[in-house]
Amino acid sequence: MSTSTLQGWSLRPATAGDVEAISEIRAAAMRPDLERLGRYDEHRVRQRLRDAYVPEHTAVVESAGAVAGCVALRPSEDGCWLEHFYLAPELQGRGIGGAVLAGVLARTDAQGLPVRLNVLQGSAARRLYERHGFAMEREDPVDVFMVRLPRAGPDPAPGGQP
């Protein structure tokens, strides 16, 4: 378990029982961007998480003893995919997401793995990913697909390790 007592959060392995709390956080975190894109569906936003949830690849962010977010790192043939990276809206902008991301990337760098992700067009999360070294590979009308090659040495990105 990783902890940042200064910021009041911790990271722990996910369990099957976390899926509903995480699906609610996903719905709240993604709603503004999905509404802006005309793609918000109250049921679908939760069901997509339920259908793709793999606890073995997921870590849960906790704050004040409650599930506050998550991040998943799914292995792939040519590296891994950063997926299901959500933080409750009331905790965004406090450096927690950057710290979680820096910790994940430190592990993938140590393994020499490239990391891919997709982010919704126009999402503020894209700036976070770019600060941590992700670059656009391609895009479509809904998503921007990004990649980050492994780095040698310390990550110059802000946030530190969780």
Q: Which CATH superfamily is domain 2-148 in?
A: Gcn5-related N-acetyltransferase (GNAT) (3.40.630.30)
Instruction: Give the span between the Cα atoms of 20 and 104, in whole angstroms.
Output: 23
Instruction: Give the span between the Cα atoms of 37 and 2, in whole angstroms.
Output: 35
| 123-153 residue pLDDT tens | 989 999 999 999 999 999 999 999 999 997 5
Instruction: Give the span between the Cα atoms of 15 and 4, in whole angstroms.
Output: 21
Name the pTM for this structure: 0.85
Structure tokens at 55: 């606890």
Instruction: Give the span between the Cα atoms of 118 and 72, in whole angstroms.
Output: 13
Q: What is the mean pLDDT of the chain?
A: 89
Using the predicted structure, report yes or no on whether residue 160 has a pLDDT greater than 90: no
93-125: string of b/e by CB count within 10 Å (b at 16+)?
Answer: eebbbbbbbbbbbbebbeeebebbbbbbeebeb
| 53-98 residue pLDDT tens | 999 999 999 998 899 999 999 999 999 999 999 999 999 988 899 9
Using the predicted structure, report yes or no on whether residue 100 has a pLDDT greater than 90: yes
